[in-house]
Amino acid sequence: MTASTRQFALFGTPLAHSLSPRLHAAFARELGVAIDYQPIETGVDAFAEALASFADAGGQGANVTLPLKRHAVQACRTLGERARRAGAVNTLVRLAEGGWHGENTDGAGLVRDLTGRHALDLRERRTLVLGAGGAACGIVPALLDAGIGELYIVNRDGARADALVDAVGEPARVHSRYFEQLPELGEFDLVVNATSAARHGGLPVLPMSLLSARTAAVDLGFGDDAIAFLAWARAGEAHAAIDGLGMLVEQAAESFEIWHGVRPGTDAVHDAMRAGAASLVAAD
């Protein structure tokens, strides 16, 4: 690593299969930027100490993933508008005077993927978001800004769903419900799985009545994590069943632009990731 190499990291757990280091290495090669981007495995209890050690070692920016997105808010001296509205942070920028500035690129990444890569018109879509954790917090404001219609947020912990609805501050448009109430809600034009259920023993049973031939079903996860939800969507003959790989690529590009002042191209990287191209593996 040379003196001009800038240091970045990914915080969260588990990180063994994260694509983020390869994504940022690919973006850096494309634009001729010298970076060192390393995963730092840490849970909630050790996050503050790990982040401080990273800063002391010269760290200049970081991504934050599960289960730390909400906790990262407390680590920030300042917040961008998207992070403030979301109440969650996935991108950290080291401030010149010390401390961290927090941003959230998840929602922008999702909307860019759905409207650009998948050519979906989100306007006035009756929308269901499953989950009310850090991932859901990151995408809900962006979906509302993109013009979706009525929004229902469903979570096992009703208090969490209520808190997210209250934070949004649009009671005529955004509503909270329990999973047990799903059969009562009817069809949706857009269903987004923002839970981590597949990582922890399986997706809750979802009624087919949520789906129609015009529904776009989106899982924020990809690979094994998205299999159950996308299988449910296809079995219900949804119009589209979309995983979260495109969102991952687009939110990473948003973070890269925040850190480096230039946005990388994403289509070639996305296609290579989808194909599992060996060319994305960073050189030793």
DSSP H or E stretch at residue 218: strand 216-219
CB 218 within 8 A of CB 114: yes
CB 185 within 8 A of CB 177: yes
CB 189 within 8 A of CB 127: yes
DSSP-derived pairing of the beta strands 91-94 and 127-130: unpaired
Q: Annotated catalytic residue: which of 6, 22, 24, 69? A: 69
* One-character DSSP codes across 69-130: TTHHHHT-SEE-HHHHHHT--SEEEE-TTSSEEEE--HHHHHHHIIIIIS----TT--EEEE
CB 64 within 8 A of CB 72: yes
Annotated catalytic residue 77: no
**Alpha-carbon gap, residue 137 to 40, rounded angstroms:** 23
The 35-41 sheet, strands edge to edge: 35-41, 6-12, 59-64, 91-94, 100-103, 78-79
Find the DSSP H helices in the chain. 20-31, 44-56, 71-74, 81-86, 106-112, 134-145, 158-168, 227-235, 245-260, 267-275
Q: Which residues are designated catalytic?
A: 69
